Chains A and B, each alone.
Chain A
Amino acid sequence: MSDRRPMATRAALAVTLLSCAPTLGGCSSGGGAPAQDSAPSLIVSTIPAGFPKGTNIERAPADNALTLDRALLGKRLFYDPQLSRSNEVSCSSCHQQQYAFADPGTVSTGVEGRTGTRNAPSIVNAAWGKTFFWDGRAASLEEQAGQPIENPLEMDLSLADAVARLAADPSYVDGFQKAYGEAPSESSLQKALASFVRSVVSGSSPYDRHLRGDDSHFGPQRKRGEALFLSEKAECFHCHPSGSLSNEGYFNNGTFTDGGDTGRQQVTGRVGDLGKFKVPGLRNIAISAPYMHDGSLPTLEAVIEQYDAGGRGDPTTDPLIKPMALSKEEKADLLEFLHSLTDDTLLVDARFAP
């Protein structure tokens, strides 16, 4: 027999139910380790509001536990231009702290001024990522860490050569010994870089505080923008769900046009993955311009305009990307909400600086 009971209004009771959800029972998995109470200075136990369970420490792989020694070693490597063939660029050249560890350039610039094809994404809160790079070709931060070093358009140095350089530096030899109990190796180089990236956590934006119940910096316009963001009119939430703001999936958001970067299809070979790119998290989005995989949109206003238009018109655009006919006020509300995602403390946090 079909259940034909009417679907009642959801929102009003929902907040009440969710607020007392822990007492409802009936949906338990029996897992979950507690967060560390006393964390080392570079490694914090903060979980950004609305993110999945588990601190960055708990989410580190078993063969690369997140320790202070490893994160500090990774930070030194992250800022070291020795990891590029010409000693010109480091990881930090494209992941700049003042831009929330993103790149203000349209596309990344590597050794000898070589330019890539994509805008470097932010590394913030990558500890909660499932896959990495715009096309998701890396399944772990460790796997990701070595690829820019070897990419001819980026740092253009083989991992073997990178290790040789590090092995010639007694201070690095000591650092690797302390962190991994061994001399520098390709594996430990990648693990150390991944450890630093895993330590970069942003969870103090007005939005984070709003989700924790503090609306002192989350006024009416930001609330209107949030409501619109989560509505079926704007439909942002399909890819950017409340809280984590990324569903870790791949979608063709209407930026792809014929002849452009084919994105996820380069990994899977599927026709349906043409023009799909990984959904980025949006923490600190207001200061990590330009936008989209190709850095083709210079401002958040331009991003909102593109979505409002339903993309650039390519027939491969995801069916959920449709013209929205947002009003001028609604666009302003959305923009203000996006500005609430900025964690100013991250940009100047000395723990993450060289």
Chain B
Amino acid sequence: MLSLPLELLMAGQPFVFGQPNALSDGGSLVPLNFRFYISDVRLLQSKDAPVPVDVLTAAGVPEPYGVHLFNAEDADSSTLRVLAPAGDYTGIRFALGIKLACNQQAPASLEDPLTDASQMTWPHTGGFLFLRYEGRYTAADGSSAAPAGIPPAVHMGGDIQQELVPHVTVSSAFSIPANGRLEIGVRVAVDQVFKGATADIDVSDIAVGLLSTPEAIAGERPRRELPELPVFELQP
């Protein structure tokens, strides 16, 4: 089993869920909610085609729908586990979200991690969120007005009519030994999510209905930029 513990970072420092995290401007940020889906995991090889791998629970059984929900509130979810064959790899590729076939289904017809309890549902006509963040900023002077680069909420989702889930490639060479067991840490740069969420990108084409809110717009920007945004990094 390849274990990939995920660690949240802000500007290279641990970003602790539910606690005040000091920022460079003297303010602090308390993450109140941070969760995202990972699915369609593939291991990359230098010459051969990517190897699709099963996503496993902590108990070692396949996750329903092949989907893992990272929930910063739940330590049990902080490690992505995949069943990987021994070999040499150049990186990992995965979908940051869920595939269209799942996104089109009503949560009541599904089971965890694709139920309402995931906190990742938009109204039943809107599919699921792919990534959700909310936080509370406090400036050095005690005020709550966040600077432009700190969004109060980021809600990234898809569309039940088309496949819009972003795929992420994280390059770093590693070898899985014959016994199949390896652990590689994954750094998750929350500041890069914020960078994407507050970038000067015109997303006015989505400003209809559900997606016209600040948090949805803040989510749509990184969805478009994610293949290039260095949010994820394998620890050397």
Do A2 and B123 contact each other (CB < 8 Å), given the known contacts A27-B101, A52-B115? no
Given contacts A7-B205, A18-B104, contact A272 B65 (CB under 8 A): no
- Closest B residue, CB atoms, query A129: B117
- Chain A: minimal CB distance from B104 (Å): 5
- Segment at the interface with B among A28-36, A75-83, A169-177, A327-335: A28-36
Does B227 touch A at the CB level, under 8 Å? yes
Indicate the size class of the contact surface on chain A: 35 or more
B88-117 toward A: CB 8 Å interface, digit per residue (1/0)? 000000000001111011111111001111
| Interface stretch of the complex, out of A91-99, A195-203, A315-323 | A315-323
Q: Does A213 reach chain B (CB closer than 8 Å)?
A: no
Asked if B110 contacts A29 (CB within 8 A), the reply is yes
- Whether A27 and B224, one on each chain, are in contact in the complex, defined by CB atoms closer than 8 angstroms, is no
Q: Mark B146-170, 1 if CB is under 8 A from A, else 0.
A: 0000001100000111101010000
Q: Is the CB of A7 within 8 A of B159?
A: yes
Contact: A5 with B162, CB < 8 Å? yes
Residues of A within 8 A of B30 (CB): 271-272
Known: A9-B208, A18-B124, A248-B117. A3 touches B109 (CB 8 A): no
Residue of A17, A32, A242 touching B160 (CB-CB under 8 A): A17
A sample of 7 more A-B contacts (CB under 8 A), given A5-B164, A7-B220, A17-B160, is A7-B208, A10-B127, A52-B117, A232-B216, A243-B124, A249-B117, A318-B134
Q: Does B206 contact A (CB under 8 A)?
A: yes
Within 8 A of A (CB), among B116-147: 116-119, 121-127, 134-136, 138, 144
CB of A350 within 8 Å of the partner chain: no
A-B contact pairs, 10 of them (CB 8 A): A2-B227, A13-B160, A18-B124, A21-B106, A27-B102, A27-B104, A52-B115, A244-B108, A271-B30, A320-B134
- 0/1 string, B15-57, CB within 8 A of A gives 1: 0011110000000001111000000000000000000000000
Contact B123 A230 (CB under 8 A): yes
Complexed CA–CA distance, A26 and B101 (Å) = 5
Question: Per-position contact with B for A238-275: 1 when CB-CB < 8 Å, else 0?
Answer: 00011110111100000000000000000010111100
- CB neighbours of B153 from chain A (8 A): 319-320
Report if A21-B125 is in contact (Cβ < 8 Å); known contacts: A1-B227, A6-B206, A52-B116.
no
Which of A18, A31, A237, A318 has a CB less than 8 Å from the CB of B122?
A: A237
The smallest C-beta distance from A257 to any residue of chain B, in angstroms, reads 15
B236 at the interface (CB under 8 A from A): no
Is B213 among interface residues, defined by CB-CB distance under 8 A? yes
Per CB-CB distance, the 3 closest pairs between chain A and chain B, nearest first, are A26-B101, A270-B18, A14-B125
